[in-house]
Amino acid sequence: MPARLIESLATTEALAELFSDKPVLQALLDFEVALARAQARLGIVPQTAVAAIAAAAQADAFDFPTLSRAMLRAGTPAIPLVKALTERVRSQNVAAAGFVHWGATSQDVADTALVLLLKRAKPILLSDLERLEGALSRLAVQHGKTVMLGRTLLQPAPPVTLGLKAAGWLGAIRRGHQSLEASFARALVVQFGGASGTLASLGEQGAAVGRELALELGLAFPDAPWHTQRDRLAALVCACGVTTGSMGKMARDLSLLMQGEVGEASEPGGDGRGGSSTMPNKRNPIGCALTLAAAERVPGLVATFLSAMVQEHERGVGGWQAEWPTVAAVIQATGLAAASMAEVAEGLGVDPARMRSNIAATHGGIFAERAMMLLGGKVGRDTAHHVLEKATRKSVEEGRPLAAVLSEMPEVTGHLDAAALRSLEVPEQYLGVADEFRERLLSSSERQNTASEKD
């Protein structure tokens, strides 16, 4: 389903659908059905009760506005839901109605429903991250020899390659992906503790019911209920924050490369994408903009979740109630960033000629470090640094190549021959071990992918 208008720049259609009313309500109901089935297998509730509860637990049959208003008054989604479900079961089977929500507490329902939603969000997020990583890997391979300006503090610096830049983006995003997978694995656990986290209402069968419930829902069974221990969810939220930040860094770089006066890269276009309401000439960095917006929002949401971790005793007041919208917003923002940057990377336009032109426009100034190192080997670093400062100023003032200026300075020509000066401004000859780093990043990502496939 399309996102609500106010969230149209904050989520994807798939995630908007996942966190819409019907799937959320169905996740709550799925807990109640799974609980009844688990208890029936252990002989705690009759099988006939399971059939009646399952038949009644269909989200379409409930009045969403009425439930929403009742949830607000109750301070929890579960109390009005259990009441409404019980009434629906009672209308068909009076005896079965007495076994709805048997031995559970409100937070068991709400937490497990959230975990079920996260379980369903996981493949959506990871699929787009895999698309993004695949596209970046291809860019890193294709442009291993494509030279471009390095930029430090937004100023021209010695050359790098687009391949190394793409591999750097890939490395960070892949590490975030790995953290997300690990965090999802830890977070996808059932919540089942009853009133105070002891399952006393089920006597000695409490843990057995919990294991059966987890099995029924396809979740892990934790060592103990986690009503006020929110570290697993916090780790997932933080992993989303880091991964979104890494995608935001890529988006920042690309949006800067798309500036008209730079013109080294461009997002894919298409009908209705990247235009302007007033300027027909514009091709805006829309995917980057959406990703940067997500990267702006998520840190505050992460902080909100971390603040809400400080919960009281066996059941928190306020902290837990802050989590549902916070987690939903974090997951949707992360998913939007992944989908946006995957689209950008898959269709990225690259202009190698403009990259070379921008290198040439520095008049060799970016090779001052190289000249200083060559000269420094003869006269010492401090002396060479002073000579290059003077030469660079003259190059800028006169708009002449640095090598030409150096070739007129006796303190330089006495130590560096004409051949060294002629090759000074060849970018391919001042890339250091850029290609080794690029290959290491690619190799590391390939190893991580292989490990993930084995897992």
Q: Say if CB 372 and CB 51 are below 8 A apart.
A: no
Cα-based angle 410, 411, 414 (whole degrees, multiple of 5): 70
377-415 burial, b at 16+ Cβ within 10 Å, e below that, comes to: eeeeeeebeebbeebbebbeeeeebbbbbbeebebbeeb
Q: Say if CB 160 and CB 150 are below 8 A apart.
A: yes
Note if 246 is an active site residue: no
Please pick, among 211, 252, 315, 356, the residue that the annotation labels catalytic.
Answer: 315
Please pick, among 8, 68, 276, 307, the residue that the annotation labels catalytic.
Answer: 276
DSSP string, 92-142: T-HHHHTTTTTT--HHHHHHHHHHHHHHHHHHHHHHHHHHHHHHHHHHHHH
Note if 211 is an active site residue: no
Helices (DSSP H) in 309-351: which residue ranges?
Answer: 323-346
Strand pairing partners for 151? 156
Helices (DSSP H) in 188-230: which residue ranges?
Answer: 206-217
Instruction: For residues 115 and 14, give the distance between their C-alpha atoms in angstroms, rounded to a whole number.
Output: 17
Instruction: For residues 273 and 344, give the distance between their C-alpha atoms in angstroms, rounded to a whole number.
Output: 11
Q: Say if CB 359 and CB 427 are below 8 A apart.
A: yes
Catalytic residues: 276, 315
